[in-house]
Amino acid sequence: MGKVIAIQIAPEASAPLTSVEQVNAVAGQGLEGDRYFLRKGTYSKKHDSSREATFIESEALEALNRDYGLELNSVESRRNITTQGVALNHLVGRTFRVGGAVFKGVRLCEPCGHLEQLTERKVRPGLVHRGGLRTEILESGLVGIGNNIEILE
């Protein structure tokens, strides 16, 4: 069973993410206070439920450093929730609970040119197929650091 080790949100597109201890996940909207909840994200012109919350494995960030010599921390990853001990790729199409909220893994969150531009690092090769998970929030609730990730199916 994995757990949440960090949570990050940003108020608008390209703004630096800020670490928080907990966040309210709102079904059909996103993480309260985050750019996609506020419809101010880079890709917010048309609401896409798969952008309601994004997850990334701390192990993927460690592998990026180990295998490619590129250090990227949770905040720089531009993902909302950093996990430990769970294979996020296996959650595509599955529902899972984190704290009081229920999420559905929609698709992988592959790295993009926008991420490279903001981090000023060529992170795409090292994060292909391990850049995280895009999710839809099915049930609202608080998510906090230390919460377990429980697969429901």
Q: What's the pLDDT score for residue 109?
A: 82
Alpha-carbon distances of 146 from 12, 17, 79, 119, rounded to whole Å:
26, 19, 17, 27
Q: What's the pLDDT score for residue 119?
A: 57
Q: Which pTM was predicted?
A: 0.88
The whole-number average pLDDT for the span 64-83 is 84
Longest dimension (CA), the chain: 39
Q: What percent of the chain has pLDDT over 90?
A: 53
Local confidence band at 29 (pLDDT 50, 70, 90 cut-offs): very high
- List the domain range (segments joined by +) for residue 15: 2-151
- Name residue, tokens 């450093």: 65
Lowest mean pLDDT among 4-13, 54-63, 112-121: 112-121
**Count of domains for the chain:** 1
Local confidence band at 117 (pLDDT 50, 70, 90 cut-offs): low
Buried-exposed string 120-135: b where 16+ CB fall within 10 A, e elsewhere? ebebeebbeebbbbbb
71/134: higher pLDDT: 134
The whole-number average pLDDT for the span 6-16 is 88
The enclosing domain of 32 has a CATH number of 2.40.33.20
Local confidence band at 125 (pLDDT 50, 70, 90 cut-offs): low
